[in-house]
Amino acid sequence: MSELNPTNETGLIRISDDVVSTIAGLAALETPGIAAMSAGISEGLAKKLSGKNVQKGVSVEVGQVEAAIDLRVIVHYGSKIQDVCRDLQNNVREQVENMTGLMVVEVNVKVEGVAFKEEDTEEEIQNRVK
């Protein structure tokens, strides 16, 4: 749990690790080229997560004024992985720093999978062939 301005005359401000994880996860999902967060290979095949499970795929270490973030992600097939990951690092750093006031010292990204386009639905196939 982070404590900002521990000598603040009005009291202590604490930011929990879960808050930082949620901010980082949401910022990651908003990054173009990121298909989903990954629950990790240890839980079987990489599972796509969103909504309230956004903290999955995010690990944080939060100090009094700094934070380090580790992300596990799945990227869209055809994306330039290096560019997507660089954008991801910048987006997560910016959002966490802006919302918490913590200095993000590192954002580590592990790409655990590639998301392919979903199979064409039967309706799309019928509309395609006349």
Pick the CATH number of 2-128 from 3.20.20.70, 1.20.120.80, 3.30.70.1350, 3.40.718.10: 3.30.70.1350
Q: Pick the closest to residue 8 from 126, 119, 104, 101 (CA basis).
A: 101
Sequence ranges of the domains in the chain: 2-128
Half-sphere exposure of 55 (CA within 13 A, CB side): 9
Residue 60 is given by DSSP the state E
Global pTM reads 0.75
Extract the tokens encoding 73.
């992600």
pLDDT per residue as tens, the chain (130 positions): 655 555 557 888 889 999 999 999 999 999 999 999 987 654 444 444 444 455 689 999 998 899 999 999 999 999 999 999 999 999 999 999 999 999 999 999 999 999 987 654 555 555 655 5
- What's the confidence (pLDDT) of residue 48? 46
